[in-house]
Amino acid sequence: MIEARGLSKRFQDKKRGEIRAVDNVSFTCQPGKIYGLLGANGAGKTTTLRMLATILEPTDGTAIVCGYDVVEQPERVRANVGFLSTATALYRRLTAQEFVEYFGRLNGLDEATLKKRVDTIFGRLDMNGFRDRRCDKLSTGMMQKTSIARTLVHDPPVMIFDEPTNGLDIMTARTITSFIRECRNNGKTVIFSTHIMSEVEKLCDTIGIIQSGKLLVEGTLGQLRDKYAEHDLEEIFVKVVTPHYVAEEAN
Amino acid sequence: MSIRNVGIVYRKELTEAIRDRRTVISTILVPLLLFPVLSVGFGSLAVALVGKAKEEVPKVMLRGGEDSPAVVEGLRKLDKIDIVSETPNWKDQIINKEIRAAVEVPPGFQTDVAQQKSDTVNIYNYEGELKSEFATDKIEKYMKDYRDKVVKERLAAKNLPETVLKPFEVKRENVAPPEKVSGAAFGGIIGYMVILLCMTGAMYPAMDLTAGEKERGTMETILSSPISRMHLVLGKFLLVLTAALGTAALSVLSMGVSFSVLGHYTGQTASGRAAAAGFLLKLGPKTVISVFLMALPVAVLFSATLMTIALFAKTYKEAQSYLTPMTFVVIIPAIAAMLPGVELTPKLSIIPILNVSLLCKELVTGTYHWNLIAIIFSSTCVYAAAALFLAVKMFQRESVLFRS
């Protein structure tokens, strides 16, 4: 389970002064459910997810992930989280197997358990054909599978996906979306950020719309449709975001 | 503190480093090949060129001497010298290397010598030009031999012994053991090489493991794992340190072998180069261990400092532009220690880099000033610890890790 409590992140910019990348964001993600964080570029999605994964420290507020506080116990949090984004690249000079094993060891797995986990994951993701191939020789699809294997190696109860299909071709993107679904079916807590409406419609149990670092609205797809009297998610998104976008442009 | 986690990071970084062509070139191949190429390659080329220059029969122009046939005859009979007739543009011919030198025998020289009047024989040459110097040496030797012969004849004519002109000999004798002599001559180079190569060995991995990781997008991947940032930076630091020490060790080994081969090749066993070879190969385990013990905190200082600076950069190229000026910061004190007359004092022993460089010079001559060694080792350890502390702190700063 993930519980964000007034999460905020401010950055200092030489030209623009203080920037509120995330401003007092609170939400809850339940096990066996997918929470979709929907927002435009620069809305604060990545910063929010980086704080949940303890890659960034909140300026104010906190979040509880699997019972651990992201500010007080960041290493415990990371041991219970699998984090995947298009920015999480592979070590090019390691083989696919070495790469996954490295993260297994960093997650504290002993060698016997690690071997079993790696064999199981490589079999399940159909990766045995390239397990000894260096990561710089892998196709995009193979790289994504290797990244998925990395997030799964320690079998974390929470999965965080930051725009995981960004820039990927349709077949590779499908591998990722089916993996996200599988995580939900296995009872994991999943949070997923994107600006692709169709992915949200297909995958998410709960949707949160974020703009200018603020969580503007959240609910199931049905609840949002009822509230804004629109069927199309893109129209709902535009209705929610436009007043804030206009105000921001005016400023 | 989890040594296991530091070890996991170190092993992974080592695996990647060994598979990286650029790291292998900068850490292993360059130090192994640099000295053989520089010393044996250039050395043998120099020997060959000098040999060729010596073999050439130089043209030397004779000016005057019409009334001194015996001297001219002697000059013409000189082995491997081609005496040519005088032309007005003789200076230009020397400058244009058409002739190598000119010898001017003054009018009435032979008569003046017979009448015990003093005269001057001028030799004109192109100073610094190798073949001109060879020709000048030959002419000068002939004229000095001729002068000595005249002196001997005059003494004999007056029944005087040769000791009239040389009442006593002056002789100098070295009492320092050979290792101290060669150490004093070449000890400074050892310190300079060890320090400089520690730096160059650390430079590439320091950039690759920080700015390189940011550029390749793996920084976010590793930061999402449960390893603490301190363990991560320590694992990376150990790899940079390994590269620094490895490069320095391979370089010293390569330098010793190269000089030895060069000494053997040239056959100049008494020359400086051969002495250096003998000296390097004769360095006892105590000296080698001492030099590397002193190099250890310096390598720690370099590794941590270079990592801290490189971490600021967003890309590998940006890191290169930050670290290149660092080479000068290191070279200047290292060279200062090689200057003649610069010796280790309590004040100099707290100046980083310069102190270790000066100490290496003393260690290779077998001199151990334990009080200064203690000051140098402890002060360098303090600087190294501060640099490492700073590196760990920098790895915890989001503004540095995610600089955009």
What does the pLDDT look like over B127-170, one tens digit per residue?
A: 988 889 989 999 999 999 999 999 888 898 888 888 888 888 89
The pLDDT of residue B248 is 83
Judged by CB atoms closer than 8 Å, whether chains meet at B221 and A102 is answered as no
Give the end of a domain, one of B161, B189, B207: B161
* Beta-strand relationship, B101-105 and B122-125: antiparallel
Q: Please give the residue of chain B at the shortest CA–CA distance from A87.
A: B217
A9 pLDDT higher than 60? yes
Compare B162 and A3 and report the one with higher pLDDT.
Answer: A3
Half-sphere exposure of A145 (CA within 13 A, CB side): 24
Residue B173 lies in a domain: no
d(CA A176, CA B279): 65
* Beta-strand relationship, B101-105 and A60-65: unpaired
Identify the bridge partners of residue A80 per DSSP, sorted by sequence position.
Answer: none
Q: Give the angle subtended at the CA of B181 by the CAs of B328 and B190, to the nearest 5°.
A: 25
Percent of chain A with pLDDT over 90: 71
CB B237 within 8 Å of CB B63: no
Query: DSSP secondary-structure letter at A95?
Result: B
Compare A128 and B57 and report the one with higher pLDDT.
Answer: A128
Residue B169 lies in a domain: no
| Residue where the block lists tokens 């001109």 | B132
What digits encode the pLDDT tens for the residues A85-119? 877 799 999 999 999 999 999 999 999 999 999 99
The alpha carbon of A58 is separated from its chain's Cα centroid by a whole number of angstroms, namely 17
Residues B107 and B189 occupy one common structural domain:
no
Most A CBs within 10 Å: which of B224, B232, B401, as the mutation test of the A interface? Answer: B224
Q: What ipTM was estimated for this complex?
A: 0.90
The pLDDT of residue B265 is 60
CB A189 within 8 Å of CB A1: yes
Q: Please give the residue of chain A at the shortest CA–CA distance from B216.
A: A89
Compare B176 and A170 and report the one with higher pLDDT.
Answer: A170
Counted across chains A and B, CB pairs separated by less than 8 A come out at 62
- Whether pTM > 0.95 for this model: the answer is no
All residues of chain A having their beta carbon less than 8 Å from the beta carbon of residue B9 are: 106
Compare A101 and A13 and report the one with higher pLDDT.
Answer: A101
pLDDT < 70 regions, chain B: 1, 178-179, 181-187, 259-260, 262-284, 404
Phi and psi angles of residue A14, each rounded to the nearest 5 degrees, phi first:
-60, -40
Residue B51 lies in a domain: no
The pLDDT of residue B21 is 87
Residue A118 lies in a domain: yes
Q: Which candidate from A55, A57, A103 shows the least CB-CB separation from B220?
A: A55
CB A36 within 8 Å of CB A210: no
Closest CA to A121 of A143, A157, A154: A154
Judged by CB atoms closer than 8 Å, whether chains meet at A75 and B226 is answered as yes
Q: How far is B217 from chain A (nearest CA, A)?
A: 5
Identify the bridge partners of residue B401 per DSSP, sorted by sequence position.
Answer: none
The residue segments making up the domain with residue B318 are: 3-39+178-401
CB B101 within 8 Å of CB B135: yes
The radius of gyration of chain B from alpha carbons, rounded to an integer in Å, stands at 31
Residue A238 lies in a domain: no
d(CA B253, CA A63): 56
Residue A42 lies in a domain: yes
The residue segments making up the domain with residue A139 are: 2-220
Q: For chain A, how many structural domains are there in total?
A: 1
Residues B368 and B222 occupy one common structural domain:
yes
Give the end of a domain, one of B133, B161, B189: B161
Residue B106 lies in a domain: yes
Residues B110 and B220 occupy one common structural domain:
no
Residue B45 lies in a domain: no
The pLDDT of residue A140 is 86
Give the confidence band of A73 by pLDDT, cuts at 50, 70, 90.
very high
Residue A48 lies in a domain: yes
The pLDDT of residue B28 is 86
CATH value at residue B89:
3.40.1710.10
Residues B136 and B248 occupy one common structural domain:
no
Q: For chain B, how many structural domains are there in total?
A: 2
Residues B382 and B353 occupy one common structural domain:
yes
Residue B44 lies in a domain: no
Compare A167 and B300 and report the one with higher pLDDT.
Answer: B300
CB A56 within 8 Å of CB A63: no
Question: What is the biggest distance separating any 2 CA atoms in chain A, rounded to whole angstroms?
Answer: 60
Q: Which candidate from B221, B224, B398 shows the least CB-CB separation from A57?
A: B398
Judged by CB atoms closer than 8 Å, whether chains meet at A105 and B8 is answered as yes
Give the end of a domain, one of B161, B194, B223: B161
For residue A107 the two structure tokens come to 């997650």
The pLDDT of residue B326 is 87
SS3 content of chain A, % helix, strand, coil (to 5): 45, 25, 30
Residue B46 lies in a domain: no
Distance of CA A25 to CAs A128, A212, B391, Å?
Answer: 42, 11, 33
Q: Please give the residue of chain B at the shortest CA–CA distance from A106.
A: B227
Residues of A in CB contact (< 8 Å) with B are 12, 53, 55-57, 75-76, 78-79, 81, 83, 85, 87-94, 98, 102-103, 105-108, 134, 150
Residue B14 lies in a domain: yes
